[in-house]
Structures are given as C-alpha cells and as structure tokens.
Structure 1
Amino acid sequence: MVHTCVVAGCRNRRTPGTTLSFYRFPRDPERKQRWIAAVNREGWVPNEGSRLCSTHFISGKQVKNPRSPDYVPSVFTSAPLSPNIQEAAAFEPYDKQEAHVEAANALLYLQGQGRLDEDLSHLRCRPGPERTKSSVNSDDEEKEDEDDGGGGGDDDEDESVSESENVCKGDKALGNSTVKSLNYEACLNALRKENMELRESLEKMSLSEVAFRNDPEKVQFYTGLPNYFVLETVMWLLVPHMKSEKNAKLSKFQQLLLTLMRLRLDLKNQDLAYRFGVKVATVTRTVHRIISIMFTTLVPTAVFWPSRTELRKNLPAAVRQTHPDCAVILDCFTVSLEKAVSVDANRQSPTETAEVVRHLSRPTSVSELKYVIGVAPQGVVMFVSRGSPGNVSDKTLVESCGLLCKLLPGDVVLAERDFDIGDLVGARKAELKITNDHSKMFKNDQNPREEASLISEERMNVYRHVGRVVQMVKKRYSMLTGPVESPFTVIDRSSNVTTFDKIVQVACALNNLCISAVPLE
C-alpha cells in the first residue's frame, strides 16, 4: 500500500528507494491527541492508514522518550520533499503497479511468518528480568508506529516483530534512547543559545529604537546627538507634528533617524534607500518633510536670542574679564554649490533676499552661499541668517539679515575679522570690537613683541571662540560642508525659505542640544 504523509502541503510518499520513514499515529490517547494537534487540520481524525513522514521530526525520526523534542512532530514550516519524488501526476500511471508489488512482498513475508515464530518461540521461555505490561506495550507500540524507511514492506511488516525480540532488545533500546534524548536536549539548548545570539546581533545591526536605546556611541555616530535621551526628547517634540501614513514602511523614529543620518553623514538618497529598504523617492520626501517640521518646531526652541540678563548671568570667566558687556560674537561661513546659480537683480533668486539682490550691480553666477552666524559667549548659536550669494559683502549681508534689530544700547559685538559694520552697530548705540586687529593694537608701540606678550590666554580663547563653534557644527553635520545639491536650493513656497537654509538652522539647533564644545572656563 502506498503511504502519503497526512500533513497539509506535504507531498512526501513512500516510493521504491525512498529514504523517508512513515509513522502511524500512536495508540496512547494523550500522545495521539498531541500528534493530531501538531498536524493542525481542523476537524480531521486519523484512521488506520494515516501516516506521518520523518521530515516532520527534528532528528528525522520519532522518539519514545517524553522529554525528547521528537516525542511529538514539530517541523511543519516547510516540509522538504523527498529527493526522489517528482510531480504527483508522474506517479499516477505507476500507482497500481506499485500496489501489486507491495502486496506480493507482503504475501511472501506472511508465508514465512509461521516459521519465524517457531524459530523464536524458545526465546520467550528464557529467564530474564521482569518487565511490566506497560513497558512491553510501549515497545510494541514503537515497532507498530514506525513504518520501514527503505520503501519496502507494508503495515503488517511492523507488526511482525515478535514480543520476545522486543523483550531481548528492550533494555538496550531504552539505554540508547536515553543517551539520544540527552544529546537532543544538549543540541536543542545549543541551538536556542545560538538563536538568541543571532537575534541580539541582528538587533544591534538594525536601525530601530531598540538598537539605539542602550548604545550612546551609535547615537552619536548616526545622529550627532550626545545620547539616546536627547534623541528621544527631539522625537517627543516632533511626533505631534508628524502625520501617520497608512502602510508606511518607515516608523516615525526611522523617519527622524533617516533625516539625521542625511545631515550627519551626508549620505546620498540612494544609500539611505538601501539601508532602510525603501525607494529613493520615499527618502527624498521624508528628508524634506522632517526638515520642514524641525525648522518650524525645533529651531524656535533651540536657536533664539536670550535676554541681556540671561547672557550676563552665565557669562564665562574669560569673556567676563575682557568683554563683560559682550552680547554676541559674529562670523561668516560659506558653503559651495553643486551647480552654479545665475543671479539677476531684476529677478530674485530663491537663495537670497530682495535687499541683497538690490546691491548686485549686474547679473552674476553664484557658486557658493554665505551665512552670518551669531554665537553667544557661552558657546551656543543664537542667530543664523539666510543664505546669500558668496560675492555679497559682509556689510550688505549683516545689514539685510535682521541681526542688527536684536542689539540693545550698550551691547558689545565681537568679531574675529573686520566686518566693516561699525557704523551699522553704532546706529544701534552698540559697539563693535575686532578681537584680532593687531595693526591697531600695535599702532603706537615700538616693540610689537612686547605688546603681544600682554595678550592673555583667555583673550586668545575668545579670538578662536566663534571659529571653533562654526567648525564644530560643520564637523558634527557633514552636509554643511557642501557642495549643496540643486534640489535643496529650491525655495519652499509655504515658508519662502530654501530647504538648505532650513538645514543650516536645524543643524545649529541640534548642535545647541549638545554639550558646548568650546568651554571658556
């Protein structure tokens, strides 16, 4: 009789030459019920001809020890086909012939059954250790449950093994099964440990919240932020403004992480698409959307001009000794463009204000953007202008960016180089001081070296203060080093600001959330 595995989706059958074994369902009611539950066919009940192939056991065969994982079949995810099996339709012409061959083999075996019983009858009378009826039945059941694995014989072949032979081999089989059970348990524990280690390794390599929660070095490398707490705080601030999209492949955390990786490492959109398993268009939309949300939500919170009281209350010692009325330290930095932009005074460019355009005498090609940055003496960015053409003078840029409106009478503005804005600052009843103007310092001195020795180390720190802040922002967020890609220079109609202008301010806001890189104490 041809046996076919009863598991849904498994097409294994006993054919000539097969290496598979086929097992009938146990007689023990409890174990039989567990087998039926494992097969998981709703409303199905096995009959005398129902068989289960050996591919559904971990070791490739059933085991009688209740502590063994193969006491009940457990492999059902993808039952492999026998290597000798072909399509079911190919066997249809041979089914009848195979049935005749197997029936003939069964008759030949039954003809020798009587002689076999007579030859083994004397073994039943041999004295031996007493065995309980339950143990004998268990051995009988093991032989009856397991069909032959070589493809020959029939159901009766399993039942033909005599009781006396089971008695003789019982102790040995029990010992072997105990050893095998221990080996299976050790193997199973090793596999579980390996599985757990692989899961932990996969979590560490993944770009998920769990992978970042307890790994500050990973947070710093991918986001520039000092730890997960700061990253989580930024996330809480942005989540109410992030829309939930149906069937979104990226979680809100991954959208923020993708954007920060774009700023931090200046990774290309194609690279990010591979890392997060999404399309390039999804990366582009995500970056622009999250940058806009951070510009309207995070920047006003982190980049602002503090009151005079707050500035002077926390003034670093070095600045307090040299410039106690210092309100802001100014500097400029430029970023190159990937593609030059033509600027015409009659048509406003997306990367500049009308006030700046008015000062351009003729159409020109712009290859870089210039920004004015204002840093508090404490080392945080408190003002960033919009991008302007790199050939615009510092005076024109400062006059048009809105920084002068924030100055109060009596404020001192420090600059490391000559901005030529003394008259503009003076109009606000404030004072501009160029910290490294050595020509004025040594004007009436006969020995410049002697005068230079009077410059304290604290003042030298002030000279380098802004430069170090600007360099730290650029180092922390590589995207600010340029070149700026053309899509980021297009103006956003909703805010009348280019995306790269938003990026500069967002990078400064994120930098302010970190510990100051230039303490002056």
Structure 2
Amino acid sequence: MPASASRKQRWIAAVNREGWLPNDGSRLCSTHFISGKQVKNPWSPDYVPSVFDAISPSQETKQTSAFECSDKQQAQVEAATALLYLQGQVVDPDLHLDQDKAESMSSLSSSDSEQPSDSRALSGTDDDASDPVNYEEELRALKEENQALKESVEKMSLTEVSLRNDPAKVRFYTGLPNYFVFETVMWLLSPHMKGDKTVKLSKFQQLLLTLMRLRLDLKNQDLAYRFGVQVSTVTRTVHSVVNIMSTTLVPTTVFWPSREELRKNLPSAFRSSYPDCAVIMDCFRVALEKTDWPDASFHHCGSNTLKYLIGVAPQGVVTFVSKGSPGHVSDKDLAEGCGFLNKLLAGDVVLADRRFDVGESVVARGACLKITGVSEDDREVPEEDPLADASLERMWVRRHVERVIATVKQRYAILTGPVESPFTAMDHTANMTTFDKIVQGLELSTDESQDGMA
C-alpha cells in the first residue's frame, strides 16, 4: 500500500471491499493494474488500481504471469497514456482518477514554471488546443542534434574517414605528411599483413596502431584501450608490422645517390669547400630501459645505451644507418665494422667529427676523410683571421648533421628512448634487433627538407 494518505484512501475506494482496512503488511496483486505494476507517476493510469474483474483467487493467480507479459496489455497502456496526453483528459471515471488527483497535479504544475504548456494540458483547460506541439519541428531538431553528435564522434575517432579529411591528424598520429602517403604505405604492406577473421584488427588499424606506437611512443596498455584489444595483441601487432616494414620498405629506401646526382644537387655551402663530398658521418645514442642486453651475446657489455652510425648526404638525406652497438664501442670500431666504408668510391670526400679516427681506412678505399666540428683551437681563432671561415664551415656541417638526427627523433618519439627490453631481443634470422629495424626504417624514410642547405 502507498505511504501517501490521500493515495492510500483512493486505493481503498478502488478496492471497494466493505469493512476492509489495510494494515502495514497489506499488498495488492499486480493483476489489478493495467501494466501489471503500480506507477508512481500521478498522471499514469496505474497510479491507482483499476482492474477488478469478477474472478476467483485461483484464476487470478494463473493469469498473473500472462497478464504481465502480454503485448496487448502494454499496447493498452500506451494507448491510454497517449489519449490522455492528446485530449487533455485528466479526470477519467474508468480510471478512477478523482478530484483529489486533479488538485494535486494542479499544484505541481503551478510550482513548475518551466512547463506551462504541460500544466494547461493536464488541468483540462482549452489552452492546449490553441498552442499545439510542433512535432515536425522537434523531429527536425533531434535529427540535427543527432547529426552533430555523429560528426563529433567521427572527429574524435581514429577511422579511415577521419584521417582522410584531416592531414594535421595524420601527421600527429603517424608522422606521415598526409593520408595519400599513408595509403601508399598501406598498399605496399597490405599483401604481407594478416586480415582474416582470426585477426581482431583490420589492416588499416594494424598499421595505424604501429605508427602511433613509433610516433608518440605510447604505452601498449594505452593503445590497447584505444583500439579495444588486449595488450598482448598490441605487442604482437607492433612486432609483426615492424618486421614487414623492415623487409618491404627499408630495401627500397636505402639509397646511396650516384656521384653525378650528388654534385648536380650539391648545396651552395658545400660547393666551395667540399665539392666532392659524398657523405657526412656521425653517431647517435639511444638509452636502454635496462642496463643489460637481454641477448646472451651482449651480457658482458654492461652498456645502458645503443649506439648507431649514421651517414647523411650533403642534401640532408639519410643514406646509411648501422645496426645498434653497445654504447661503449668507439666511433672508429663502429665505423670500420658496420659496413659503412664499403660504400665509398675513389675520390669521395667523407666529412666526420674528430672522434672518427678512420683516416687510414678511408684512404685505403681511395677516399679522403676531412674533419669537421668545433675544437678548442677553433674557438680561439679571431673572427678576422682567415681560418675563422673554415671554422664556421666545420661548425655549420656539424650542426647540419645534428639537425637531421634531431628532426627524425622529434618526428618519432620512440627514438628518444629509453628502449623497452622486448625491442632489443635479437632476431637471429635477420641478425638484428627489432629496434634496429625501427631505427633503420624511420631514419631512412625521413623527408628532411633542403631549406637551409642552399
């Protein structure tokens, strides 16, 4: 029984049982309500029980379940409610809605100043006839709101449509200049990627996830949440796509330009001082997550960094990247052991920092090593001294190489380290680590502009 005294009296009147007064434990069967249950909304037909057919208690028990599940009865409720709303009939003898109900609802409507039209309809006045609800207008507004929500969700999502129409989004998440380049990479990799029903991610998602991992250095758990997969799926996907990129893209991007091309496009700053420059040689380091290499062959090193040798053409294009070596390896040993010197031809000029004591090895191949960079002696040269120009040239070359390396690292945050241990696991079939593949692929795919080279 309801707690409200006025509503309780209306229930007693509806039951209409002579001499019956309910107590706190009294209950009313659900079959006495149109929908099969009481409703607390004063405007609902089931605010007060109204179904009292002359049936026996046993019949009433048998019909309870069928009554509650009947689609026909639900339709009756909806029809009755719609009729009340459209016609403004709040006092209906068949539903036992007496004057007390109308008065209570009138008081509610008068206190709710934000819904005057509903108050007029429920109080039974004729004002609603002069101010009908414009359902077509409401429907149009809902459609516009729905479309706006769809567009908002699309902008926040990582789908092919959202990337295709937003070059800035492509650059931010992948490091690629536009969606056309992304599609080209996708076209090259797609034949080698898994795309059957057993794979939870589409080929588009696999490539996008991997590039986001490299570009933003996002954690695997973060990517798992974004793409709705397990962390193990993210790990497998990244390693799989990196291996495919290494075997498919890197061989086509390793390009050591011909000497004719180098001289034809040589920046003006090199023409006077280094007209036969073929390559600028340098090294960079990446920190490791752990101090020991996971592979047994490197356990004796105790190094906490990886060291890479990089070759840069005068035009600013990366033409060579070595495999990673322990950080304590000298620049000379790295240069002589990574295969870089085998690229040189007779007459080539190689520019390098004074740390590279490889002059004899370079001369043995008919080339020439010239030292760049700023030394203590360079800093002491007066500006008016003729040697000052040479010092500035060496400084400029050094900064040029540093700029190329910094550009790639800024574009792909994973290159700034620290490198997680799973990436340093050795792939013995390729004789290189997964991170070596990442470095070679990202360094050699740089599109470093040539502004500032002229």
Q: TM-score, normalised by structure 2?
A: 0.72
Question: Is 1:225 matched up with 2:246?
Answer: no
Question: Which of 75, 96, 101 pairs up with 1:52?
Answer: 75
Give the equivalent residue in structure 2 for 1:332. 283
Counterparts of 1:392 and 1:453, CA distance in 2: 33
CA deviations over 1:96-145 (Å, ceiling 9, x no partner): xxxxxxxxxxxxxxxxxxxxxxxxxxxxxxxxxxxxxxxxxxxxxx99xx
- Compute the displacement of 1:463 (Å): 2.9
Give the equivalent residue in structure 2 for 1:180. 132
Give the equivalent residue in structure 2 for 1:282. 233
Kindly indicate whether the alpha-carbon contact (under 8 Å) linking 1:337 and 1:483 is maintained by their aligned counterparts in 2.
yes
Question: Is 1:412 matched up with 2:370?
Answer: no
Do the aligned partners of residues 50 and 420 (structure 1) sit closer, same or farther apart at CA in structure 2, a change above 3 Å counting? same
Counterparts of 2:37 and 2:223, CA distance in 1: 52
Compare relative contact order (CA 8 Å, sep 6+) and give the higher one, 1 or 2.
Answer: 1
Give the equivalent residue in structure 2 for 1:369. 306
Kindly indicate whether the alpha-carbon contact (under 8 Å) linking 2:345 and 2:365 is maintained by their aligned counterparts in 1.
yes
Do the aligned partners of residues 376 and 246 (structure 1) sit closer, same or farther apart at CA in structure 2, a change above 3 Å counting? same
Give the equivalent residue in structure 2 for 1:61. 82
- Compute the displacement of 1:489 (Å): 0.9
Q: Partner of 2:297: helix, strand, or coil?
A: coil
CA deviations over 1:136-183 (Å, ceiling 9, x no partner): xxxxxx99xx99798459xxxxxxxxxxxxxxxxxx99995685352x
Kindly indicate whether the alpha-carbon contact (under 8 Å) linking 2:331 and 2:355 is maintained by their aligned counterparts in 1.
no
Do the aligned partners of residues 429 and 275 (structure 1) sit closer, same or farther apart at CA in structure 2, a change above 3 Å counting? same
Q: Partner of 1:322: helix, strand, or coil?
A: coil
Residue identity in the other structure for 1:454: D
The runs of 5 or more residues in structure 1 that have no matched partner are 1-10, 23-48, 65-69, 71-141, 154-171, 351-362
Question: Is 1:291 matched up with 2:239?
Answer: no
Give the equivalent residue in structure 1 for 2:414. 479
Give the equivalent residue in structure 1 for 2:154. 203
Counterparts of 1:408 and 1:386, CA distance in 2: 22
Counterparts of 1:404 and 1:56, CA distance in 2: 88
Q: Partner of 1:339: helix, strand, or coil?
A: coil
Question: Which of 475, 484, 488 pairs up with 2:423?
Answer: 488
- Compute the displacement of 1:190 (Å): 1.4
Kindly indicate whether the alpha-carbon contact (under 8 Å) linking 2:276 and 2:348 is maintained by their aligned counterparts in 1.
yes
Q: 1:123-134 counterparts in 2 under 5 A?
A: none
Counterparts of 2:91 and 2:188, CA distance in 1: 66
Q: 1:421-460 counterparts in 2 under 5 A?
A: 421-436=358-373, 438=375, 450-455=385-390, 460=395
Counterparts of 2:238 and 2:152, CA distance in 1: 28
Q: Partner of 1:414: helix, strand, or coil?
A: strand
Residue identity in the other structure for 1:52: A
Q: Partner of 1:348: helix, strand, or coil?
A: helix
Residue identity in the other structure for 1:180: P
Residue identity in the other structure for 2:207: L
Q: Partner of 1:402: helix, strand, or coil?
A: coil
Q: Partner of 2:161: helix, strand, or coil?
A: helix
Question: Is 1:520 matched up with 2:447?
Answer: no
Kindly indicate whether the alpha-carbon contact (under 8 Å) linking 1:373 and 1:385 is maintained by their aligned counterparts in 2.
yes
CA deviations over 1:73-97 (Å, ceiling 9, x no partner): xxxxxxxxxxxxxxxxxxxxxxxxx
Q: Partner of 1:369: helix, strand, or coil?
A: strand
- Compute the displacement of 1:497 (Å): 1.5
Kindly indicate whether the alpha-carbon contact (under 8 Å) linking 1:21 and 1:148 is maintained by their aligned counterparts in 2.
no
Give the equivalent residue in structure 2 for 1:469. 404
Q: Partner of 2:287: helix, strand, or coil?
A: strand
Counterparts of 1:289 and 1:224, CA distance in 2: 19
Do the aligned partners of residues 175 and 456 (structure 1) sit closer, same or farther apart at CA in structure 2, a change above 3 Å counting? farther
Give the equivalent residue in structure 2 for 1:316. 267
- Compute the displacement of 1:469 (Å): 0.5
**Alignment coverage as a number of residue pairs:** 369
Residue identity in the other structure for 2:433: T
Kindly indicate whether the alpha-carbon contact (under 8 Å) linking 1:20 and 1:55 is maintained by their aligned counterparts in 2.
no
Q: Using the aligned pairs only, state the percent identity.
A: 56
Q: 1:252-291 counterparts in 2 under 5 A?
A: 252-291=203-242
Question: Is 1:237 matched up with 2:188?
Answer: yes
Question: Is 1:194 matched up with 2:217?
Answer: no
Counterparts of 2:443 and 2:93, CA distance in 1: 72
Counterparts of 1:468 and 1:442, CA distance in 2: 21
Counterparts of 2:94 and 2:395, CA distance in 1: 90
Residue identity in the other structure for 1:401: C
- Compute the displacement of 1:227 (Å): 1.8
Counterparts of 1:498 and 1:385, CA distance in 2: 12
The runs of 5 or more residues in structure 2 that have no matched partner are 1-32, 47-71, 98-123
- Compute the displacement of 1:342 (Å): 5.9
Question: Is 1:504 matched up with 2:431?
Answer: no
Q: Partner of 2:291: helix, strand, or coil?
A: strand
Counterparts of 2:93 and 2:395, CA distance in 1: 88
- Compute the displacement of 1:493 (Å): 3.3
- Compute the displacement of 1:247 (Å): 4.5
Counterparts of 2:360 and 2:183, CA distance in 1: 45
Kindly indicate whether the alpha-carbon contact (under 8 Å) linking 2:282 and 2:311 is maintained by their aligned counterparts in 1.
yes
Question: Is 1:13 matched up with 2:31?
Answer: no
Counterparts of 2:217 and 2:184, CA distance in 1: 23
Aligned-residue RMSD, C-alpha? 3.6
Give the equivalent residue in structure 2 for 1:387. 324
- Compute the displacement of 1:383 (Å): 0.5
CA deviations over 1:476-518 (Å, ceiling 9, x no partner): 1111111111111111233221111011112113423xx5275
Do the aligned partners of residues 230 and 348 (structure 1) sit closer, same or farther apart at CA in structure 2, a change above 3 Å counting? same
Residue identity in the other structure for 1:520: M
Counterparts of 1:277 and 1:343, CA distance in 2: 30
Residue identity in the other structure for 2:75: L
Residue identity in the other structure for 2:221: Q
Q: 1:146-185 counterparts in 2 under 5 A?
A: 151-152=95-96, 179-182=131-134, 184-185=135-136
Do the aligned partners of residues 448 and 281 (structure 1) sit closer, same or farther apart at CA in structure 2, a change above 3 Å counting? same
Question: Which of 288, 297, 306 pairs up with 1:348?
Answer: 297
